[in-house]
Chains A and B, each alone.
Chain A
Amino acid sequence: MKRVVITGAGTINALGQDVPATFEAMREGRCGIGELEFRDVERLAIRIGGQVKGFEPETVFNRQQMALYDRFTQFTLLAAREAVAQSGLEFKGDLADSSGVVLGTSGGGMTTLDDNYRAVYEEGKNRVHPFIVPKLMNNAATSHVSMEFNVKGPSFTVATACASSNHAMGQAFNMIRSGMCTAMITGGSESMLCFGGVKAWEGLRVMSKDACRPFSATRNGMVQGEGAGVFVFEEYEHARARGAEILGEVLGFAMTSDASDIVMPSKHGAARAISGALRDARVEKTRVGYINAHGTGTAANDKTECAAVADVFGTHADDLMISSTKSMHGHLIGGTGAVELLACLMALKDGVIAPTIGYEEPDPECALDVVPNEAREAEVDVVLSNAFAFGGLNAVLVLGRA
């Protein structure tokens, strides 16, 4: 089996419009959640989110590109440009043929859907722009990345709600590990912060009106975010031969299905995914120093996740750190695992553990070291990234130091 390393990272999210800005915000425990700004927001009960502000796509993309790129595609391309530039890879010849793009998203072009439903239903228009279908389709971002970087191998989009990015990255990892591919552009993106997107979430009544406070006894729900995280995964010998900087190594991956409920999480499903990923990585659980939690800030997720971690790690659960960066950038749904993988890279590379901000009061049902409110310096060798989706689909990645 081949070894798989990460040689490029890129992002845009509510904390920053590139990786250095995002790392800085995470180190400082800054909150990117604020008042939502979009049409009809006054008709919503939930008016906060981790929205990307000060981003002017018209300054980055030309008129024809704008007609084809939904916001989730715009985010993806910006993050992919940063990641590919860092990796230094040029996709041509054999490398182009043996590399692919696997990205996650849950809603795809939801703002495009929202705008155009509004046009035909509310405004009574009988004509929409000719490119609505290629703009809103879930694989649009993947396809545009493959076109921009000339990546010609296996490419597709994964949609597993809140676990989409982790499933995508797990797939990319296994495609390199098995020898099928040399390099993969992977991660995910989401842009659901529009009237219809937030209205649908509002209906579930699990959203907070004031803040995302994972693991805190005072938590009262989740807060949505938007953005993208994109990485270059590369076969280790290929990266080493060209002297690429290695940001971290992907050691293992596992996925499970709860097979129980469409929204309520299961401790067993989560625990099986975590222990499966450790087994796949062949690392002792005592080597795990940090877990980037799914940590949504809902009662159901946080206590289930903590119970699963306690079950898998036993007494070691008290020695490791577990934080939820959703407290800062919000829940990016299909893109969340990708942005959260950045916190894992920061832990491995810089020895800085991103905090769980907004933490006010301990909850006996979440009695782990959640790195409350302030980032911490710590050397860690092995880290985990958890994602547990609606529908009971779980995906956990294990990463190690370069």
Chain B
Amino acid sequence: MDVRKQVLQIIADQAMLDVSDVSMDSTPEDLGIDSLGLVEAIFSIEEQFDISVPFNANDPSESDFDISSVAKIVEGIEKLIAEQKT
């Protein structure tokens, strides 16, 4: 399974939605994921890919990790995997 599919699955599980209802341009907010939900989703992502995601829930917009849309999250994860797994 590719990274995109796995991330979508994690986000869908967190939002308690069907994967088909999660679009690449949705924001976590659109999906009803609050800051605590986001922290939990990022934990799942770190566990799934065995990477470390630089994310500060205190001020997500100031983090190095872009969470403005599902597409940005996937892009960020792919980049982190490339950086941390090579």
Contacts and interface: CB of A to CB of B under 8 A. Distances in A.
Interface of A: 45, 203-206, 208, 219-222, 261-264, 298-300
A205 B39 CA distance: 7
Contacts of A220: 56, 58-59, 62
Contacts of A300: 35, 58
B57 to A, nearest CB: 4
Contact of A299 (B34, B43, B58): B58
Given A206-B56, A264-B36, 13 more contacts: A45-B52, A203-B39, A204-B39, A205-B42, A205-B55, A220-B58, A220-B59, A220-B62, A221-B56, A261-B36, A262-B36, A300-B35, A300-B58
Most B CB atoms within 10 A — which of A45, A206, A261? A206
Contacts of A45: 52
Interface class of chain A by DSSP: loop
A205 B62 CA distance: 13
Nearest to B58: A221
Contacts of B56: 205-206, 220-221
A222 B34 CA distance: 20
Nearest to A208: B58
B75 to A, nearest CB: 20
B59 A204 contact: no
Most A CB atoms within 10 A — which of B43, B52, B55, B57? B57
A208 B33 CA distance: 23
B19 to A, nearest CB: 25
Contacts of A204: 39, 57
A382 B10 CA distance: 52
23 contacts: A203-B39, A203-B43, A204-B39, A204-B57, A205-B56, A205-B57, A205-B58, A206-B56, A206-B58, A208-B58, A219-B58, A220-B58, A220-B59, A221-B56, A221-B58, A261-B36, A262-B36, A264-B34, A264-B35, A298-B58, A299-B58, A299-B59, A300-B35
B61 to A, nearest CB: 10
Interface string B36-70: 10010011000000001001111100100000000
A222 B52 CA distance: 20
B62 A206 contact: no
Most B CB atoms within 10 A — which of A45, A221, A299? A299
Contacts of B39: 203-205
